[in-house]
């Protein structure tokens, strides 16, 4: 199976190492990708434990699980990742801009978010996110370009 995060690597050589094999993310972007893949493969516990400690209080594993189960994750597009200082990770709050495309109750959606990360207990964690856009998408025809910007036909991309 190809990794849901879109890296082009197999899941076992990519986000699976972080989600199931206790490997630590070496950057906020890698953590972001692994959290997306955890949603796509329904690993709610991983999503929960990669929240910053202060953010965990307002989360529940069951809610995350329910949301992951009801949603088909189609595509992750990373737009940009801010630089961070590897020597002073604790004092930095790097950001990642991304769009996630998903299907929920037969409708398509795009979520565009700027996520903020922090370095806590020797791990990158997800602090919170600012949603820039959350829109329902009109599905293109099967032979038209996909809405995710891949330049592929919809039927060979998110509509497959
Ligand atoms: Zn991956
Ligand atoms: Zn697509």
CB 46 within 8 A of CB 65: no
The predicted pLDDT at position 126 comes to: 97
Alpha carbon of 93 to ligand 1 centroid (Å): 22
Ligand nearest to the CA of 155: 2
Instruction: Please provide residue 56's backbone torsions phi and psi, each rounded to the nearest 5 degrees.
Output: -60, -35
Beta strand 123-137 pairing with 107-120: antiparallel
Ligand nearest to the CA of 36: 1
Element (DSSP H or E) covering residue 18 = helix 15-19
SS3 6: coil
SS3 70: helix
Structure tokens at 76: 């992750």
Alpha carbon of 61 to ligand 1 centroid (Å): 21
Ion ligand 1, residues whose Cβ is below 5 A away: 3, 5, 7, 14-15, 33, 37
pTM of the full structure: 0.94
Alpha carbon of 22 to ligand 2 centroid (Å): 30
Along the 160 residues of the chain, how does pLDDT read in single tens digits? 999 999 999 999 999 999 999 999 999 999 999 999 999 999 999 999 999 999 998 999 999 999 999 999 999 999 999 988 888 888 889 999 999 999 999 999 999 999 999 999 999 999 999 999 999 999 999 999 999 999 999 999 999 8
């Amino acid at each position: 199976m190809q990794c849901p995060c879109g890296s082009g690597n197999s899941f076992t050589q990519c986000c699976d190492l972080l989600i199931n094999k206790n490997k630590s993310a070496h950057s906020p972007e890698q953590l972001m990708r692994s959290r997306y893949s955890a949603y796509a493969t329904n690993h709610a516990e991983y999503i929960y434990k990669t929240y910053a400690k202060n953010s965990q209080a307002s989360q529940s594993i069951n809610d995350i699980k329910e949301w992951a189960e009801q949603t088909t994750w189609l595509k992750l597009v990373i737009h940009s990742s801010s630089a961070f200082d590897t020597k002073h990770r604790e004092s930095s709050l790097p950001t990642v801009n991304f769009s996630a495309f998903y299907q929920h109750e037969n409708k398509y959606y795009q979520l565009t978010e700027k996520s903020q990360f922090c370095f806590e207990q020797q791990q990158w964690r997800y602090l919170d996110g600012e949603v820039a856009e959350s829109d329902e998408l009109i599905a293109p025809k099967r032979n038209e370009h996909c809405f995710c910007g891949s330049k592929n036909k919809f039927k060979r991309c998110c509509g497959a």
